[in-house]
Amino acid sequence: MSGSGIGDQGSGIGHPGSGTEGRPGSDFDRATEAAEWLRGHGCGGADVAVVLGSGLGDFADHLDESFTLPYAGIPHWPASRVIGHAGKLVGGTLRGKRVLALSGRVHLYEGHPMATVTFAIRVMGRLGVPRVILTNAAGGISPNCSRGALMVIDDHINLMGDNPLVGPNDERFGLRFPDMSHVYSPPLRAMADAAAAEQGVPIQHGVYVAVLGPSYETPAEIRAFRGLGADAVGMSTAPEAIVARHMGIEVLGISCITNPAAGVFPEPLHHEEVMETARQVKGQFIGLLEGIIGRL
């Protein structure tokens, strides 16, 4: 995920249900319809939804009593075509908690409007899911965010050039000017620390800068982001986090640092490296998520 998610194989535009513009009905109605459909398919009463980033989808295989709902069957749900994104919702239980794992997300760089990029979070909100864990693959900017590190997102800088709340505000979702002082829940971040200690998984904390992509950054951009206070860079998560807070959903963000950001080392960046690192750390990543979810 983009943060992940890189390596787009097509725009995704034109997929039935992928767009929201020029279609009758509101995003609120569409999200409500999808939520009702999911409720009718066993997704009601979830304790947490987990959005799985590029190469991190295996978490979904660790759920007990699991069931799979391909995105294509969910009303209005958009499809992502990025390598490493499966495109399915897996429901199940983990350490006694009810979990919805969203394996695959759509990205702004695919050409989708923000409403489409954040539709899944709108649906989670309408379903009454109280908290989301947003995961992504990201490039490491600060020295403690080396390849393979897991970083709890303390805050983000949105440099995507767009905001999912632009346009008329639907008060049924939330306020026109929602507060963003504590986007990433301090209690959930503390749970991540406790889970990491319990599991023996080293974790970092830092600021995630969200960019549009799909090209990777230039070394000059990374130097600029470092100066702005960013520790990691990726192509997702911030829009979902903003929309989640708009709806009052608690948010935890975890970045898997899959590569040093551009210019940190002389080597060029490849999506294959992103996927390979995600594969290498997935055991720790899954252990961390299990520990966090067990504490909810």
Active centre residues (catalytic): 54, 85, 107, 109-110, 137, 235-236, 259, 271
Closest approach of ligand HPA to the CB of residue 61, in Å = 22
Nearer to ligand HPA, 111 or 294 (CB): 111
Nearer to ligand HPA, 29 or 273 (CB): 273
Q: Count other C-beta atoms under 10 Å from residue 146's C-beta.
A: 13
From CA 234, how far away is CA 209, in angstroms rounded? 6
Nearer to ligand HPA, 234 or 239 (CB): 234
Residue 126: which of 74, 88, 176 has the closest Cα?
A: 74
Closest approach of ligand HPA to the CB of residue 269, in Å = 6
| Interaction site with ligand HPA (CB under 6 A) | 2-4, 6, 137-139, 216-217, 233-235, 258-259, 261, 269, 274
How many Cα neighbours within 13 Å face the side chain of 48?
25
Closest approach of ligand HPA to the CB of residue 90, in Å = 23
- For residue 131, CA distances in Å to 83, 89, 217, 272 come to 27, 16, 31, 31
Put residue 155 in one of left, alpha, beta given phi > 0 → left and psi -120 to 50 → alpha: beta
Three-class SS of residue 54? Answer: coil
Closest approach of ligand HPA to the CB of residue 47, in Å = 28
* Residues sharing a CB contact under 8 Å with residue 117, sequence separation 6 or more, in sequence order: 105, 106, 107, 108, 164, 239, 240
Closest approach of ligand HPA to the CB of residue 103, in Å = 17
Nearer to ligand HPA, 53 or 92 (CB): 53
User: What Rg, from alpha-carbon coordinates, does the chain have?
Assistant: 17
Nearer to ligand HPA, 104 or 291 (CB): 104
Q: Are 156 and 238 in contact (CB under 8 A)?
A: yes
